Structure 1
Amino acid sequence: MAFSANSGGGGAPMAEINVTPLVDVMLVLLIIFMITAPLMQHKIRIDLPQATNQPSEQNPVEPVDLAIKEDGSFFWNDQLLSDMELKAQLAVTAQKTPQPELQIRADKNTRYEIVAKVMSDAKNQGMVKIGFVTTPARQ
């Protein structure tokens, strides 16, 4: 609490509030917001699906199931594959028209780097449709 400095007041409290620190803080906040506000307006391009009046495909493409076990082994539609065979299968599947969806089903304890490597390999081979398959938790 501040006390008056004049001798006539006898040490009575001041009735005025010192607003200088408040103005200083507000000016600093204003400058921070002026600098950061334009940075928060970055644009992200999103390709949304387009609605059409065309009938859906008569022969839907069967998705490809890729299971990844905890030890890093790959099963392409329940057939065991090595890493090189997986890349070859991805390249062949990416060339198909229409391209089937790659559905990745990884064990709960599989390291993420293995899944990320598979997704990277699929993208590098030209796969466009990649999905994840999960099982509901048991109650």
Structure 2
Amino acid sequence: MRQRRLMNQINVVPYIDVMLVLLVIFMVTAPMIQSGSVNLPSVDKVPAPPTDAMIVTVKPDGGLTLRTTSQATEKPFNRRDLIGEVQAAVSANPGQSVVIAADKSVKYEQVMNILNDLRNAGVNKVGLQTKVGAAAR
């Protein structure tokens, strides 16, 4: 009687079948996964910023402007000069408040970087300006 030779190869057909089933499952469920968009809340009633607050505006293109008083015009600054200007105002008046007004399309990271720079410059009163009466859609 002749002995059978041992098979020395792995049968990969079952593995391919399992992988194809998993691929189909992922292809079917992928469109059902919700995107990572965040709908930020809007506010109806917000206290007005102090009249003596300095207003830092972050433009959609990343440009920065500073308005020192409510009657002054906005002056464009780069980031380092803006922080120096605000730091000089805070050293003259430690209670100086600063409001950051950013365009809706500005990345959150840019606003947080400006906020962090102002905190590091010694500004204790920093606020974020919001749009009053904007209803969430």
TM-score bucket of the superposed structures, by smaller chain = 0.5 to 0.7
Instruction: For structure 2, list consecutive stretches of 5 or more residues without a partner in the other structure.
Output: 1-49, 68-73
C-alpha contact 1:93 1:99 (8 A) present in aligned 2: no
Partner of 1:74: 64
Does residue 107 (structure 1) correspond to residue 103 (structure 2)? The answer is yes
Q: Which protein has the larger Cα radius of gyration, Structure 1 or Structure 2?
A: 1
Distance 1:121 1:93 in 2: 15
Provide the aligned length of Structure 1 versus Structure 2.
80
- Worse-superposed segment, 89-98 or 62-71: 89-98
TM-score by length of 2: 0.53
Q: Secondary structure of the residue that 1:95 maps to in structure 2? A: helix
Instruction: For structure 1, list consecutive stretches of 5 or more residues without a partner in the other structure.
Output: 1-59
Deviation string, structure 1 residues 39-91 (Cα, Å, up to 9, x no partner)? xxxxxxxxxxxxxxxxxxxxx87110111011111110111111121121121
Q: Which amino acid aligns with 2:121?
A: Q
Partner of 1:120: 116
Q: Using the TM superposition, give the Cα deviation of residue 105 of structure 1 relative to its aligned residue in structure 2, in angstroms.
A: 0.4
Matches within 5 A, 1:1-139: 62-77=52-67, 78-136=74-132, 137=134
C-alpha contact 1:61 1:98 (8 A) present in aligned 2: no
* Matched-pair identity in %: 25
Q: Which amino acid aligns with 2:55?
A: D
Q: Which runs of 4+ in 1 moved over 4 A?
A: none
Distance 2:95 2:118 in 1: 12
Q: Which amino acid aligns with 1:65?
A: I
C-alpha contact 1:94 1:127 (8 A) present in aligned 2: yes
C-alpha contact 1:66 1:74 (8 A) present in aligned 2: yes
C-alpha contact 1:93 1:100 (8 A) present in aligned 2: yes
Question: Residues 114 and 96 (structure 1 numbering): CA distance in 2 closer, same or farther, change over 3 Å?
Answer: same
Q: Which amino acid aligns with 1:113?
A: E
Higher relative contact order (CA 8 A, sep 6+): 2
